[in-house]
A = this chain, B = another copy of it.
Amino acid sequence: MQQCDTLIQARWCIPVEPDRLVLEHHGIAVTDGRIVAVLPLPEARAQFNPGVVVDRPDHVVIPGLINAHTHAAMTLFRGLADGLPLERWLREGVWPHEQRWVSAEMVRDGSKHAIVEMLRGGVTCFSDQYFFPEVVAESAVDLHMRAMIGTPVMDFPTPWAKNVDEYLSKATDLVHDPYADHPLVSTCFAPHSTAALSADSGQKLRVLADQLDRRVQIHLHETAMEIATTLEERGKRPLARLSEMGLVNASLMAVHAIHMTDEELQQISAAGVSVAHCPRSNLKLASGIAPVQQMLDAGINVALGTDGAASNNVLDMLGEMRTAALLGKVKAEDAAAIPASTALRMATLNGAKALGLADAVGSIEVGKWADLTCVDLNYINSQPVYDPLSQLVYSCNREQISDVWVAGRHLVDKGALTQVDLDEILQRSAEWQQRIAAV
């Protein structure tokens, strides 16, 4: 008999790799935070002597959900600026609040709120871009959440930095220390958009990203207006500008990528660029509908993200999966587009690939971190069950997420947060709301 820390026994397990596989009555053995075996239950019981047995008879275990695009701290601005298109939303609804309120304290409280909201919703890893990224990283470590921390880069001053050299210098500090080789936190560069990046700044960023071997993520082709303005002011479309800066390569994650010509899709496919699709945010800002099935058919790796709470307005990856699956069908004019298995893959393994973490997480495979989410299907809205994959994507709400593990640590247990004082988090958010609403 082999010792293991935890043996998870659930009715179903969907490992995501291989695609579409649904295992029934299997055990997942976890030791030192990693998956050590996935076996039929009788074999698992014969082989392992577990410290803890977690029995979930009506549940399906999936890889922890990966939220490929967030601005976590913006939970504190949730619902503040509905009904505006992107450009007005930024100029009237977001930037004035950010100039006034963004601080290390605000980013800590808002990020912790977001992280707890995501954990409760089955997310085990998020890719963030916001000011004070060092504080976002600390918050993730505090709450034992996996995170890709994007450091902002732009040409104009914000409460975090005053010019591009300061952005890049602060980003470099964060990369070196203390997250060079951290089990939970990775870092990357997160220029806001090509509109906020001169050719010169782009070059500097590219050189540094190459030197430090760090990935880049950027909002790209989110609205028709972004493209029209860039064409008018800079004579090129944003992707062409990014290409000139040398940034269109396999280290790039293009966030949104809604308005893409066939040639542009070919270009990013050939370059190995990943896309972070954020369907609900794209709908809410009336930005458009990304051609996701077309991207997948072109071999592009498409991940899934919620975007920030100010433009969604929730960080609910189960809901985002459902929206991606439904919306992708009408966009492709094909009810067979984005089947449930593909939506789940986008929200897990494709996310891991887009963040450069596919060796570590994104599927239930021996050797990967035990980042796992367990969903209870015994709810009236997801019964009866013909196909657990269909129920997961089309019928489940996040109240059904019963358990979450990050690197083997049991952070949500039968629906309860094990290590968080929820009331304290909500209290601090309510205090921010009172301050912000009073102005």
B380, B384, B394, B399: the one contacting A433 at CB < 8 Å is B384
Binding site for B on A (CB under 8 A): 76, 78-80, 82-86, 88-89, 113, 116-117, 120-121, 280, 282-289, 312-316, 319, 323, 326-327, 329-330, 332-337, 339-340, 378, 380-387, 390-391, 394-395, 397-399, 422, 425-426, 429-430, 432-433, 436-437
B80, B284, B315: the one contacting A335 at CB < 8 Å is B284
Q: Which chain B positions have C-beta within 8 A of A437?
A: 386
Q: Does the CB pair B286–A329 fall under 8 Å?
A: yes
Q: Does the CB pair B335–A85 fall under 8 Å?
A: yes
In the complex, residue of chain B having the shortest beta-carbon distance to the beta carbon of A380: B117
Q: Which chain B positions have C-beta within 8 A of A334?
A: 85, 286
Q: Which chain B positions have C-beta within 8 A of A432?
A: 384
Q: Does the CB pair B84–A336 fall under 8 Å?
A: yes
B284, B314, B386, B397: the one contacting A329 at CB < 8 Å is B284
- With contact pairs A117-B381, A314-B394 given, residues A288 and B330 touching in the complex (Cβ less than 8 Å): yes
B287, B312, B384, B429: the one contacting A78 at CB < 8 Å is B384
B82, B335, B386, B390: the one contacting A285 at CB < 8 Å is B335
Complex CA–CA separation, A120 to B400 (angstroms): 14
Which of A285, A314, A426, A433 has the most chain B CB atoms inside 10 A of its CB?
A314
In the complex, residue of chain B having the shortest beta-carbon distance to the beta carbon of A120: B380
Q: Does the CB pair B426–A378 fall under 8 Å?
A: yes
Q: Does the CB pair B422–A380 fall under 8 Å?
A: yes
Complex CA–CA separation, A184 to B395 (angstroms): 28
B339, B386, B429: the one contacting A384 at CB < 8 Å is B429
Q: Which chain B positions have C-beta within 8 A of A395?
A: 78-79, 313-314
* 11 residue pairs from A and B, CB less than 8 Å apart: A82-B390, A88-B335, A282-B330, A286-B329, A286-B332, A286-B337, A316-B381, A316-B397, A380-B422, A384-B429, A399-B399
Q: Which chain B positions have C-beta within 8 A of A76?
A: 384
15 further contact pairs, Cβ within 8 A, besides A113-B380, A282-B330, A283-B329 = A79-B395, A82-B339, A83-B335, A83-B339, A85-B335, A113-B383, A117-B381, A284-B326, A284-B335, A285-B329, A285-B335, A313-B394, A314-B381, A314-B394, A397-B397
Return A254 CB to nearest CB of chain B, in Å: 20
Q: Which chain B positions have C-beta within 8 A of A381?
A: 117, 120-121, 314-316, 398
Q: Does the CB pair A79–B386 fall under 8 Å?
A: yes
Return A115 CB to nearest CB of chain B, in Å: 10
Q: Which chain B positions have C-beta within 8 A of A120?
A: 380-381
Return A309 CB to nearest CB of chain B, in Å: 8
Return A306 CB to nearest CB of chain B, in Å: 11
Q: Which chain B positions have C-beta within 8 A of A340?
A: 82
Complex CA–CA separation, A79 to B383 (angstroms): 9
Which of A288, A327, A398 has the most chain B CB atoms inside 10 A of its CB?
A327
Complex CA–CA separation, A330 to B327 (angstroms): 11
Q: Which chain B positions have C-beta within 8 A of A425?
A: 380
Return A215 CB to nearest CB of chain B, in Å: 29
Q: Does the CB pair A335–B386 fall under 8 Å?
A: no
Q: Does the CB pair A394–B79 fall under 8 Å?
A: yes
In the complex, residue of chain B having the shortest beta-carbon distance to the beta carbon of A434: B384
In the complex, residue of chain B having the shortest beta-carbon distance to the beta carbon of A399: B399
In the complex, residue of chain B having the shortest beta-carbon distance to the beta carbon of A312: B394
Complex CA–CA separation, A62 to B27 (angstroms): 45
Complex CA–CA separation, A391 to B288 (angstroms): 23
- With contact pairs A117-B381, A329-B284 given, residues A390 and B79 touching in the complex (Cβ less than 8 Å): yes
Q: Which chain B positions have C-beta within 8 A of A116?
A: 380
Q: Does the CB pair B394–A429 fall under 8 Å?
A: no
Q: Does the CB pair B89–A335 fall under 8 Å?
A: yes
